[in-house]
Amino acid sequence: MSRLNQLMAFLKESPDDAFLNYALATEYVGLGDDDKAEVVFRELLEKHPDYIATYYHLGKLLERKTDKESAISIYEKGIEKAKKIGERHSLSELQSALLELQFD
């Protein structure tokens, strides 16, 4: 069974599990399917806005799609959320990603 199929099976049992949805989105990224990954990342942000890693990876996906303004917006939202919950490591990564994108 492929990793994608395994994730889908797990999600049938626990459809709202943040980690499983995150893993599904990153699996789609690994398979080169940014459109499906974006859908899952956006759904994850709606249901689990405190799952901070989503902001970074969605931002990077939007950068690949050359949607700079949307990527900036996602990074900024992630930065605010990371500050609120005290997630310093993620805050640093998001700030770095935002600065790199703004200076490109």
Q: Which residues contact 14 (CB under 8 A, 6 or more apart)?
A: 20
Quote the number of domains for the chain: 1
Task: Give the Cα separation of 55 and 77 in Å (integer).
Answer: 8
pLDDT, tens digit, for every residue of 22-67? Answer: 999 999 999 999 999 999 999 999 999 999 999 999 999 999 999 9
Tokens of 90: 């993620």
Q: What are phi and psi of 90, to 5 degrees?
A: -65, -40
Rounded mean pLDDT, 9-19: 96
The pLDDT of residue 104 is 78
Structural domain that includes position 87: 3-103
- DSSP type of residue 31: T
With a cut of 80, say whether residue 72 has pLDDT above it.
yes
Residue ranges of E strands in the chain = none
The pLDDT of residue 1 is 66
Distance from chain centroid for Cα 92: 16
Rounded mean pLDDT, 93-99: 97
Give 14-27 as a 3 state SS string: CCCCHHHHHHHHHH
pTM of the model: 0.93
Which CATH number do you get for residue 74? 1.25.40.10
